Amino acid sequence: MCGITGWVAYDRDLTLERDVLDAMTATQLCRGPDDGGVHLERHAALGHRRLAVLDPEGGAQPMTAEHDGRLLAALSYNGEVYNHHELRAELVAAGHRFRTRGDTEVVLRGYLEWGERVAERLNGMFAFAVWDARTEELLLVRDRMGVKPLHYHPTPDGVLFGSEPKALLTHPAVRPVVDLDGLRELFSMIRTPGLTPYRGIAEVRPGHLVRVRRSGVSVHRYWSLEARRHTQDLATTIGTVRALLEDIVHRQLEADVPLCSLLSGGLDSSAVTALAARSLEAAGAGPVRSFAVDFTGQSEHFHPDAVRTTPDRPYAELLARHVGADHSVIELDSAALTDPAQRLATLRARDLPGGVGDMDTSLLLFFRRVREHSTVALSGESADELFGGYRWFHDPKALDADDFPWATALSGFGGAGTGPREQLLDRELLAKLDLPGYRRARYREALAEVPHLPDTDPFERRMREVSYLNLTRFVRILLDRKDRMSMASGLEVRVPFCDHRLVQYVFNTPWTMKSFDGREKSLLRAAVRDVLPAEIAGRMKSPYPIVQDPRYPELLRRELAALAADPGSPALALLDRRELADALAPDTDPQTVRLAADLALDLDAWLTEYQVSLEL
């Protein structure tokens, strides 16, 4: 996995801009600590930082292809293509000759053979830029589910691009400006495809490509979820899901570096770990290495609530014993989670305030520790969006609301302007933002995209809509978080449940099959039940853990008090002074302002570190 960046300018000579390109490339060092390179010519500059996973000796980038001493194309690529062996064979049959063993050259040669339609042939997670020297055109491509990020900023004579916003913000022509719409996107608990909170910086949408020519920038879609009639019975459907998962996990185990599984003890990560263990054992390459996160004193401080009824650790250890995994538990403590240096590191990973507090910081610290042992990790991300695991899939109130279902189900968290996460924000600012109105407008835009079959039962039609919203809006939040925290640690995380073949198939499976036994994720449970202990196969959904040490909110309040006492804190302009004073009152339980304190501290660090200009 890697970090890419670059610059196309048709009205200037970029061979004179090496210092700028080097600075942009250096921002991606965390994504690619193993190697780096640049490719410069008159109108195109490509930068690359490499995390070596396949063919460590031969996969240097940017990679070029020449013919008779003439440059054909240059590629800066971030990702993994899991069907690269089959594509290589096809390209060799078509006359191409390879000098490396990895997937990068397959993508480059695939572009020379198929042009932009190469994207349709790739199975994997990827984001890449190809400069076609023959036509002086740039192609930016992002994978179907948006697992790998790719940002761009159109300029009067071309474009700037990079894996993360920090690469673009390093360019002297780009300023970190955030307006009201940017804050709305930041606070609304949605991720609108193509948008970022920074004015002028866009994302390549999942399943899309961006072509840059002298005449301008154009955007094209090469893949989207389609409505197809499901004709298989339940038993066949269960078998198809199992067969797809086995093939996906087997493909994603390929690596020339140490590989592991991220194991929470939930259904999703346990399924991936168990299938990986079977595949490795069959190949004589086991046991599977697995890692779980926990917090110091979590067992004694754990209190069940509406969403986390049981702690993860016992279930992760149960699954590890069941499959014979080489398992480790990584414990984190409250002091590390509230360390301002770690908050800053988390912010730099995201380039934005996360607003979820210790769930971000603990993930970053967890990944750093995993990286000491492994370079690649498999994760269970996206199974809930795909198979209907979240409670809002099963909550009539959330399903009937004229809003994103999770916004209703998580109204006690934030995103409406009145939740505990926003309780410290200035009231006039919240009125200007009108977060519910913004979100409803985005909701109607998203609904208009949903593909439907004619003569569909109204309930099945609604569940197709809810599935689409989760697979195109909510999953973006989690995939972005997982990518930024892992790549900030130089760790590649693979997500088997995002394989587009599985996503397309399950999307069109009737809801009656996805919940055939009255449980969440019935279809997935049935497909993997035989490889799991009964306790895990029947376990209720439990989200990523939060630290329950009572010291954590108290330490947060101390930081918040320091912010309030510093007249130079830029976040004070966004906060309500009366609410802030109430939050710091001696009789206020710090637990009740935990979410709001984390958001305020994140905002202050962001505004300071990135010198953000707010135009509100």
Which residues make beta-bridge pairs with 212? 138, 217
- Report how far residue 277's alpha carbon sits from residue 286's, in angstroms, rounded to the nearest whole number: 7
Q: How far is residue 210's CA from residue 380's CA, in Å, rounded to a whole number?
A: 30
Cβ within 8 Å of residue 481, ≥6 positions away: 350, 354, 356, 360, 363
**Cα–Cα dist 195/480, whole Å:** 13
Q: Do residues 544 and 311 lie in contact, with contact meaning Cβ atoms separated by under 8 Å?
A: no
By C-alpha distance, which of 511, 539, 311, 307 is closest to 410?
A: 307
SS (H, E, C) 58-103: CCCCCEEEEECCEEEEEEEEEEEECCHHHHHHHHHHCCCCCCCCCC
- Start-end of H helices in 262-351: 267-282, 298-301, 313-323, 334-337, 340-350
Minimal CA–CA distance to 126: which of 110, 136, 114, 140?
140
Q: For the purposes of burial, counting CB atoms within 10 Å of the CB of 448, is it exposed (0-12), middle (13-18) or buried (19 or more)?
A: exposed
Q: How far is CA 380 from CA 80, 499, 504, 540, 552, in A?
A: 17, 12, 17, 15, 28
Q: What SS3 state is found at 248?
A: helix
**Beta carbons within 10 angstroms of residue 558's beta carbon:** 13
CA distance 146 to 231: 29
Type of residue numbered 408:
T
Place of tokens 């995201």: 350
C-alpha 506/C-alpha 385 separation (Å) is 10
Q: In what order do the strands lie in the sheet with 259-262?
A: 326-332, 289-295, 259-262, 376-378, 492-494
Distance of CA 314 to the CA centre of its chain: 27
Strands 63-67 and 259-262: unpaired
- Give the separation between CA 229 and CA 504, rounded to whole angstroms: 11
260 is catalytic: no
Task: Judge contact between 406 and 398, C-beta under 8 A.
Answer: yes
What are the phi and psi torsion angles at 579 (to 5°)? -65, -35
What percent of the residues of the chain are helix, what percent strand, and what percent coil, each to the nearest 5? 45, 20, 35
Q: Is the dihedral of CA 139, 142, 148, 151 positive or negative?
A: positive
Pairing label, strands 124-132, 63-67: unpaired
Burial of 458 (0-12, 13-18, 19+ CB in 10 A): exposed
Amino acid letter for position 525: R
489 in Cβ contact with 371 (< 8 Å): yes
**What DSSP string describes 331-343?**
EE-HHHHT-HHHH
Q: Which residues are catalytic?
A: 2
